[in-house]
Structure 1
């Protein structure tokens, strides 16, 4: 996959660091993300992948560093100097966050349609007919039968819940989505369908995404570029195919050769 060619980054991350007591969870992570680009962050458990994702997504403030996002009509702005209200609005509109466990990103006891429509209501949409029609359209787009619009997510399979979480995030047409191990815990056949869906949606919507995964096959299928993390540090970065076909760092070579198990 060739990365989209654009003039300025959508997201600029510089020197992000995070400690938990004496443990350094993240050390001096920096990268740019371009509009429409998918970036995979890979490494074994405990490498700092999710810490990095949560810091960038303003879910857990880092100890040092900056995260700038290209707001609509306003250029790059530092996320951590925004007010809480501005950060919440960003999370509801231009950003999405897909959790590893769909139950963390869904309201399990309200209907599928209400889960999708809730983000639109947060932006002021109150017309019941439009909310329901948009929810039904998005259920169809993520391969859920629109006839199940009134069913609660707790009645859905794991793969359906994950697809519903994706619909809930994408209904507001975000420009950037964070994904934390989106295929983890799913059967292989369900994973394949979900990955195909994600690849289609990111292309169709020109959607930028940061995907945390321990699965190199997921990174190869979805991502233009990748970062490899070890013990809180980015040890290698580059185009996905180049990194996987010709790894330079010893740790990446071990990951690729499957000597290290996630």
Structure 2
């Protein structure tokens, strides 16, 4: 793991009038590190994710990203075109609903190929070969390359969305409830696949989830949110095995009782 963080989040807050989305959140994320942000619905975790991935402008705070030249840039001082380029190339964003992260009316191969074209690939044969390879990596048969995502199951759509995001070799991936809405058996396979890819590619990941099992399997560190604030953070195993905040204790015990 590099001694320089990839992402620096400092004092990020988002308010909607009198309502708090998130308040004064700070953390560093290092290359190859997976951070899980957990909490119940309405805790502020998705608002935070949208702020740090520049999908939402925070009310206060800064988010700095270490570019490939080693310099830190304040994401909110970048131009819109520069931010969009980052999101198409250096970053990935895996949505809970795969339809939000896919183009449903074009083929599986085209969904993956579009990202390659965004980084300058123009050779059709190379694009198709790389797309085929990535479909295989996410357990989608090569014979499905010309099928549209609408013909896929929920689990296959999610795996296709992951391939689309990872094909450009991003350094940072945001995931919003990546296993939400899937059957338990499909969730387990998807998690296994994600763990393998994250480890193999050395990705830095911020994953938002209400599922502590997902956090334990995927993440190195955890932040627990409640009412828009971080109430506990630390190494994932420590937080889950020895929770200190009463709310975290309640979260963990409620899972154990299910």
- Using the size of structure 1 for normalisation, the TM-score is 0.96
Question: 1:189 maps to what in 2?
Answer: 185
State the aligned residue count.
Answer: 257
Match of 2:15 in 1: 19
Structure 1 match to 2:114: 118
Contact 2:37–2:207 under 8 Å retained in 1: yes
In structure 1, the residue matched to 2:81 is 85
- Cross-structure match for 1:243: 239
Deviation at 1:6, TM superposition (A): 2.2
Q: CA RMSD in A?
A: 1.2
Q: Extract unaligned runs of 5+ from structure 2.
A: none
Q: By how many angstroms is 1:17 displaced? A: 0.3
Cα distance in 2, alignment partners of residues 149 and 21 from structure 1: 47
Q: Please show how residues 40-119 of structure 1 align to structure 2 within 5 Å.
A: 40-119=36-115
| 1:210 matched to 2:206 | yes
SS in 1 for 2:205: strand
Q: Show structure 1 runs of 5+ residues with no match.
A: none
Aligned structure 1 segments of 4 or more residues deviating by more than 3 angstroms = none
Whether the 8 Å CA contact 1:254–1:260 is kept in 2: the answer is no
1:132: how far off? 0.4
Please report the TM-score for the alignment, with normalisation by the length of structure 2: 0.98
Partners of 1:10 and 1:123 lie apart in 2 by: 20
Q: Output the CA distance in 2 between the equivalents of 1:187 and 1:255.
A: 22
What's 2:157 paired with? 161
Q: 1:256 to 1:105 in 2, by over 3 A?
A: same
Match of 2:248 in 1: 252
Q: How far has the Cα of 1:214 moved from its partner?
A: 0.2
